[in-house]
Amino acid sequence: MFYFYPVLRLFGLSFLPEGNWDLGKLRELVSDSFYAQTLWFTTWQATVSTVLTMALALPGAYVFARFKFRGKSLLQAFTTVPFVLPTVVVAAAFRALLGPHGLVNDWLMAGFNLSSAPIQIDRTIWFFLLAHIFYNYTVVLRIVGGFWAHLESDLTEAAQMLGASGWQAFRNVTLPLLWPAISAAMLLIFIFCFSSFGVILILGGPRFATIEVEIYRQAVHLFNLPVAAALSLIQIIFTFSLMWIFTWLQRKTAVDLNPVSQVASQVRAVSKVQKITVRANVCFMLLFLGAPMLALLIRSLTADGGFTFTFYTALFQNRSQSIFFVPPIEAVMNSLLFALAAMSMALVLGTLAATYLAGPKNRGTSLLDPLFMIPLSTSAVTLGFGFIVALDRPPLNLRTSVILVPIAHTLVAFPFVVRSLLPALRGIPRSLREAASVLGASPWEVWRTVDLPIVGRALLVGAVFAFAVSLGEFGATVFVARPQTPTMPLAIFRFLSQPGSLNYGQAMAMSSILMLVTAAGFLFLEKFRIGTIGRF
């Protein structure tokens, strides 16, 4: 209701201004090759981003799934932090590191006596590909890693005993078993990058445009709703068909598994090779994900080469007596509240949806499965304008209500929950459920005692993403904003909208607080696994 109704209303308004099909403005879409190029570029960059992220993150997922090492849960929490950072802030972080006057270039120039910066990634394709990997690394780590941890290593070992090489065993045994989780992660990353907006807009520069960027330009700057709606529709149909194929493949490949406790499947690294693998991956994560975040933290604590707390103390002062001043504590509380609300809604809805999808196959499930993913690929502008048009009458006059915030966050978070749950749910052998039923358990009891313990970890992964999606304020343009309930990302944007070194410093300070709060939130969520579910 909160998705299809608003979007359809907006489409209606755009295509049928006076009850007639008005196709005049749409002719431009077909005649101008610019739009075809945009579609091609959007697909291309999403594919490359997905493949690169997979290649870099799979080894990390392996290490997290199979080995125990010190500081693991802390590291895992921090790898998910990039997910919530505003694009402007990520851009600043990468530039502090790799920009023409960034740390790496300064170091290289001093070390090799170079006169100009050797690394020039600003405004190149590499810059936003890098950012996409930075954002999505954690998706692979959590979804694939989480699933992998519950796979029996017996099968792989058996294959190796029968004479298969390590690579053969991986390719013929582990990979097919892992495929449901891998494909789920790939699907999410692809859609995420396909509808990429801020990353391309800010890091790519004006030469690159995705469909999402073009929708925003048409809808906001030109107020050309028919073209914007048509582009939205193209985006939706395109992703829908991709997902339809993908989810169809995923259903076909689900294998029954005997899930094992991760306690049993995880060992300490013993052999030299294992130790090197673990260390190399941890180093990679620290360097690639940690360094930009560290650069931000340093930036927020230094001014003119010296250490300072100025920016943090300034956060608490309302210098200009503005009525829109954001007390930092309040911003943190608002963010957490919205995140918890969105998380619980997304978990409930996502679990119901995933349970249904994992059930017996029928026409409904094969259509609904890709349908559930659509909110993630819908332009925020389309949804925002749709809300304005559709929710304007009681009982649904919610346009300015705070309730709309967690609802919109839930829409985006929901696909993450469904995707992380499905592979685990589909992997539960039917015999287990049947056995429970035969022994007299009610459907609810079966779910609680069989499904829940097995999917506990996947549920947690879903929860983490739902929490992160909301904290990161995805699609902030959706709302008629509420200055009375500011969140952390909104506070950051507010600082960055006016010149002055103090504003910049405060934005960095607020970003650092956002990172810490997020990491703390993840660590807190992780605790639940140890306490209640996920161990069996």
Partner 1 sequence: MKKILLPILACLVLGLPSSLRDVRAESARVITVMSHDSLNISKEVVAEFEKTNHVTIRFLKAGDAGAALNKAILSKRNPLADIFFGVDNTFLSRALDADIFIPYASPLLAEVHDELKIDPSNRMLPVDFGDVCLNYDKKWFAKKGISPPKTLEDLTKPAYKGLTVVENPATSSPGLAFLLATIGKFGQEGYLEYWKKLKDNDVLVTNGWEEAYWGQFSAASDGDRPIVVSYATSPPAEVYFSKEPLKEAPTAAILSPGSSFRQIEFVGILKGTKKLDLAKKLIDFMLDRKFQEDMPLQMFVFPVNKSAILPEVFRKHSKVANYMNRVTLDQISANREKWINEWRKLVLR
Is 115 a residue that touches partner 1 (CB under 8 A)? Answer: no
C-alpha dihedral over 154, 156, 157, 158, to 10 degrees? 80
**Least spacing, CB of residue 411 vs partner 1, in Å:** 18
**Least spacing, CB of residue 273 vs partner 1, in Å:** 39
Which amino acid belongs to residue 170?
Answer: F
Tokens of 137: 């690394």
**Least spacing, CB of residue 172 vs partner 1, in Å:** 38
**Least spacing, CB of residue 260 vs partner 1, in Å:** 22
**Least spacing, CB of residue 6 vs partner 1, in Å:** 11
Is 99 a residue that touches partner 1 (CB under 8 A)? Answer: yes
**Least spacing, CB of residue 504 vs partner 1, in Å:** 6
Is 481 a residue that touches partner 1 (CB under 8 A)? Answer: yes
**Least spacing, CB of residue 311 vs partner 1, in Å:** 8
The footprint of partner 1 on residues 430-469 (CB under 8 A) is: 448, 452
Q: What is the DSSP letter of 208?
A: -
> How many whole angstroms separate alpha carbon 288 and alpha carbon 293?
9
Is 23 a residue that touches partner 1 (CB under 8 A)? Answer: no
Q: Kindly provide the residue ranges of all beta strands, DSSP E only, lying in 262-321, ordered along the sequence.
A: 267-268, 302-303, 306-307
> How many whole angstroms separate alpha carbon 116 and alpha carbon 439?
74
Closest CA to 516 of 81, 96, 91, 93: 81
Cβ distance to partner 1 smaller for residue 207 or 430: 207
Is 223 a residue that touches partner 1 (CB under 8 A)? Answer: yes
The footprint of partner 1 on residues 362-381 (CB under 8 A) is: 381
**Least spacing, CB of residue 149 vs partner 1, in Å:** 20
Is 108 a residue that touches partner 1 (CB under 8 A)? Answer: no
The footprint of partner 1 on residues 117-136 (CB under 8 A) is: 123
Cβ distance to partner 1 smaller for residue 201 or 242: 201
Cβ distance to partner 1 smaller for residue 43 or 449: 449
Is 531 a residue that touches partner 1 (CB under 8 A)? Answer: yes
Out of 17, 327, 364, 483, name the contact with partner 1 by CB under 8 A.
Answer: 483
Q: Tell me if 455 sits within 8 A of 424, measured CB to CB.
A: yes
The footprint of partner 1 on residues 70-89 (CB under 8 A) is: 88
Distances (CA, A) of 222 to 32, 214, 377: 17, 11, 22
The footprint of partner 1 on residues 268-327 (CB under 8 A) is: 303-304, 308, 310, 320-324
**Least spacing, CB of residue 298 vs partner 1, in Å:** 13
Out of 221, 252, 363, 430, name the contact with partner 1 by CB under 8 A.
Answer: 221
The footprint of partner 1 on residues 193-212 (CB under 8 A) is: 201-202, 205-207
The footprint of partner 1 on residues 335-354 (CB under 8 A) is: 336-337, 340-341, 343-344
Distances (CA, A) of 254 to 182, 380, 433: 12, 33, 17
Is 220 a residue that touches partner 1 (CB under 8 A)? Answer: yes
The footprint of partner 1 on residues 380-419 (CB under 8 A) is: 381, 384-385, 388-389, 392-393, 397, 399-403
Closest CA to 472 of 385, 402, 413: 413
Closest CA to 245 of 398, 107, 89, 367: 367
**Least spacing, CB of residue 343 vs partner 1, in Å:** 8
Burial 383-416 (b: 16+ CB within 10 A, else e): bbbbbbbbbeeeeeebeeebebbbbbbbbbbbbb
Cα separation of the two ends of the chain? 38
Q: Tell me if 472 sits within 8 A of 47, measured CB to CB.
A: no
Burial 486-523 (b: 16+ CB within 10 A, else e): bbbbbbbbbbbeeeeeebbbbbbbbbbbbbebbbebbe
Out of 280, 367, 480, 516, name the contact with partner 1 by CB under 8 A.
Answer: 480
